[in-house]
Amino acid sequence: MQQAELTSKQFDDFSTIIADRLGIKMPATKRTMLQSRLLRRSRELGLEDVHAYHERFFSDPEVQQEELEHLLNLATTNKTDFFREPDHFEFLAQQALPAWRARSPGGPFRVWCAGCATGEEAYTLSMVLMEQQLRGSFDFTILATDVSTRVLEKAMAATYDEEHASPIPLTLRKKYLLRSRDPSVGLVKIAPRSAPTYALVISIFSPKTTEFAPNSMSFFFAMS
* Contact call for residues 176 and 165 (beta carbons, < 8 A): no
Give the domain CATH number at 208.
3.40.50.150
Of 53, 75, 97, the residue at which a domain comes to its end is 75
> Is 45 in the same domain as 156?
no
> Is 35 in the same domain as 143?
no
In a domain, 37, yes or no: yes
> Is 162 in the same domain as 65?
no
pLDDT of residue 91: 92
Strands 140-145 and 200-203, how do they pair? parallel
Lowest-confidence range among 35-44, 76-85, 89-98, 209-218? 209-218
Question: What average pLDDT does the structure give for the chain?
Answer: 79
* Contact call for residues 47 and 56 (beta carbons, < 8 A): yes
- Name the pLDDT band for 213 (thresholds 50, 70, 90): very low
> Is 15 in the same domain as 49?
yes
pLDDT at 138 > cutoff 50: yes
Question: 91: Cβ–Cβ under 8 A, 6 or more apart, which residues?
Answer: none
- From the list 129, 116, 33, 125, the residue with the least C-alpha distance to 80 is 116
pLDDT of residue 201: 46
In a domain, 201, yes or no: yes
Helix boundaries (H) for 45-178: 50-59, 61-75, 86-91, 97-103, 120-133, 149-157, 170-176
DSSP 8-state code for residue 80: -
Give the domain CATH number at 48.
1.10.155
Calpha distance 89→112 (Å, rounded): 14
HSE-CB for 180 with a 13 A CA cutoff:
12
What confidence tens digit (pLDDT) does each residue in 102-115 have? 887 777 888 888 77
Q: What is the mean pLDDT of residues 112-134?
A: 86
* Contact call for residues 219 and 116 (beta carbons, < 8 A): no
pLDDT at 58 > cutoff 90: yes
pLDDT at 150 > cutoff 50: yes
HSE-CB for 50 with a 13 A CA cutoff:
23
- Name the pLDDT band for 20 (thresholds 50, 70, 90): confident
> Is 196 in the same domain as 162?
yes
Calpha distance 33→191 (Å, rounded): 36
Of 17, 49, 75, the residue at which a domain comes to its end is 75
- Name the pLDDT band for 54 (thresholds 50, 70, 90): very high
* Contact call for residues 186 and 161 (beta carbons, < 8 A): yes
> Is 55 in the same domain as 92?
no
* Contact call for residues 203 and 145 (beta carbons, < 8 A): yes
In a domain, 185, yes or no: yes
**Domain count for the chain:** 2
pLDDT at 202 > cutoff 60: no
In a domain, 66, yes or no: yes
Task: Name the residue range of residue 184's domain.
Answer: 86-212
Of 16, 41, 75, the residue at which a domain comes to its end is 75
What is the maximum span of the chain, computed from C-alpha positions, in angstroms? 67
Backbone Cα Rg of the chain:
21
Q: What is the mean pLDDT of residues 190-203?
A: 47
- Name the pLDDT band for 3 (thresholds 50, 70, 90): low
pLDDT of residue 157: 84
> Is 36 in the same domain as 116?
no
In a domain, 104, yes or no: yes
Structure-model confidence comparison of residues 97 and 196, the more confident one:
97
Share of the chain above pLDDT 90, in %: 19
> Is 69 in the same domain as 101?
no
Question: 176: Cβ–Cβ under 8 A, 6 or more apart, which residues?
Answer: 123, 126, 127, 130, 168, 190, 191, 192, 193, 194
Structure-model confidence comparison of residues 160 and 143, the more confident one:
160
